[in-house]
Structure 1
Amino acid sequence: MTSSSLEPLEALRAKLNAADAIVEHTLKAHAIDDPAYDALKHEAFAKLNEVLIEIKSALNALDPDLNLRPINRMLEEFRNVHAGSINVLMMHESPDLKDVSGRPKTAVKNEYKALLVAAVNVSRGTDRHLSSHLERVARKTGLTVKQVKNIRTRFMRDGAVDEMYRNLAFRLSKVPDGYDNVQYFETLVFKYNELKTK
């Protein structure tokens, strides 16, 4: 494999290792009734969700022609379960899909929006002005400037978005080692466009 083809696997390796640590910590907290479990379980969900997203991204990078819709369905169902929405494919001992009325409610997509917010923050860097960076992200994502601004404003306002997703946006806003700002910005936008609901 070339070094470029190994990059998605290295990114996936990092996500898996990060998820493993927090998931095992969460399971131990649950087993001993540690009060920290209530906070840890949200972080564990976010990490597991990031793993699924990274698996999809890695597979797409390795073979763009792969049919990744089953992974999309898994992500949707995972979020539905988390949001308390009707789930069709998971957690039924004997699923009978023909008897399920209507489509499952679409769960919140704040994890996708966290990528968008991070893209604005990375583009902006230390620039005091925001408008040109909102426009840049809007151009890259097909959203309007107003939509991008409204999403970012919600994430910046205390209590408007679940703390788990705000924290995710802030973590994603930090440029990882080995990336420059432009490269990382393009990665965030690419992932947002790949994962957003069509």
Structure 2
Amino acid sequence: MIPFNHLGWIFKYIGPAIYPRKIRGSLCRFLIPLSRSASVLDLGAGTGIMSEFAYACRPDLQFTAVDPAEGMLKYSAEYIQTHTAYAELLPFDTFSFEAILIGEALHHFQDVDQSIQEMVRVLQNGGSVFIYDFDSSTFIGKILCRIERLFGEPGNFYPPEVLKKKLESHGFTVHISHFGYRYIIVAQLRSI
């Protein structure tokens, strides 16, 4: 396993460099329709880099970061509320968040289906999810997946079309944007 609990200081400084400007622009566009002071969950947050990018676009939002590595979360910005927890068992009430951000973290989740069920539980009706990850159907994506598995990580990389079907089976409508060996999924939970 990658010792994330001891690598927060590294990720705090290299994190911003691995998020291309196009991804950050897409994130800002994703945030536009959110209500003022909406609650946003940064899931698998690490040092909270997705929340920091989001804060640059919408400082009025309320950010909560969740990660199992407390050593990563301690490097989060002061405006981010942090919780040490796993995506599969979130410590929040039902309907707590208007949006969820997942940046290069989904492939670390132990049980992706259980994590999606938890996302559905904590999202408000009509809530939305922004996922940024590597496409395992591309050459570079396959290499990254193999490297992660060599380090003992779950390596739950999905081609975006496969993840789209998973999310749709949990009640989301899904839009995919491709960026070379990376992709973004914007998913909205259908209102009940």
Normalising by the residue count of structure 1, what TM-score does the alignment of the two structures yield? 0.30
Normalising by the residue count of structure 2, what TM-score does the alignment of the two structures yield? 0.30
- In terms of fraction of residues, the more helix-rich structure is 1
